[in-house]
Amino acid sequence: MRDAPRRISWAAFLIFMGVALLLSILDSTGNLGRTLDFIRNPITVVMDWTAGRADTLAGALEGPRDVQEARAEIARLQAELDAATLQIEQYQNMESDYRLMLELFNHARQTPDFQRVTANVIGRDTNASLRSIIIDRGLEDGIRVGMAVEGSRGLVGRVYRASNRSAQVILITDTSNSIPARLSNTRATGSLRGGGVAGNLYLEWVDQSHQISIGEVVVTSGLGGRMPRDLIIGRVVDVQRIEADLFQRAEVQPAVDFNSLEVVFVITDFQQVDTGIFSGGP
């Protein structure tokens, strides 16, 4: 019993040293404040720890819902992008149509004495023996067989057949076509014939006295009165001249791209020169 006070003293000393060492370690690791909070109010610390774990668990449970919402948002944005892309393409198509019509009407302004009907190209003849297109204008619109048809760049052909609401236009490149034409510089005249599938034209029966130049523009001459004069046909790309012959021939590249035709003009009326007084006898 004599050693009991001593033992109590040593135990108290060791406990004090242990508490001091523990506090020192907690302070060095930054956990002293949290420990003191726990000592002062243990219930609050436990509730904070529980709330943090609950938030983590709730976030894990809401993860799939967030993914579904993200996918739905992506789908909505993709739909809006597709709609905007379609609208842009429609605007570009409208702009292309506007430029085409502006080009056509600017060309028409150069010859205001012509009466024209605008027509859309709705078909192309697949028959190899007849190069032609189909337009959406016919007899009800004043279209008649033989009328000249032109595009924004030049002569396309002439009406070959017509129904009430449509017409067939034979192209100037068809071999059955024969159009009075002349050269813009030399003023030499000749007969323009279609080259068929090859797509080129040939100006024949040109007098040897004329010097044809490469690149010279060929236009309609208006001879015969069936077609207006000065409609652009194309440019000379080759000249076939033999000194022993009386006439020479020029190869002509059409000004019109027949494969890209969308809209054309049908010349329904133009000022013709009346030559009827010369057809009768004396």
Q: Where are the domains of the chain?
A: 115-270
Q: Is the pLDDT of residue 108 over 90?
A: no
Q: Is the pLDDT of residue 55 over 90?
A: no
The token duo for 231 is 């409609």
Read off the pLDDT of each residue in 254-267 and give the average, rounded to a whole number.
90
Q: How far apart are CA 214 and CA 198, in angstroms?
A: 19
Q: Is the pLDDT of residue 49 over 70?
A: no
Read off the pLDDT of each residue in 63-91 and give the average, rounded to a whole number.
77
Predicted confidence at residue 32, as pLDDT, reads 54
Q: Which amino acid does the sequence have at 164?
A: N
Predicted confidence at residue 157, as pLDDT, reads 95
| 202 — pLDDT class (breaks 50, 70, 90) | very high
Predicted confidence at residue 122, as pLDDT, reads 95
Average pLDDT value for the chain: 78
CB atoms within 10 A of CB 258: 18
Count CA atoms closer than 13 A to 30's CA, side-chain side. 0
Q: Is the pLDDT of residue 14 over 70?
A: no
Read off the pLDDT of each residue in 12-18 and give the average, rounded to a whole number.
60
Which class is domain 115-270?
mainly beta
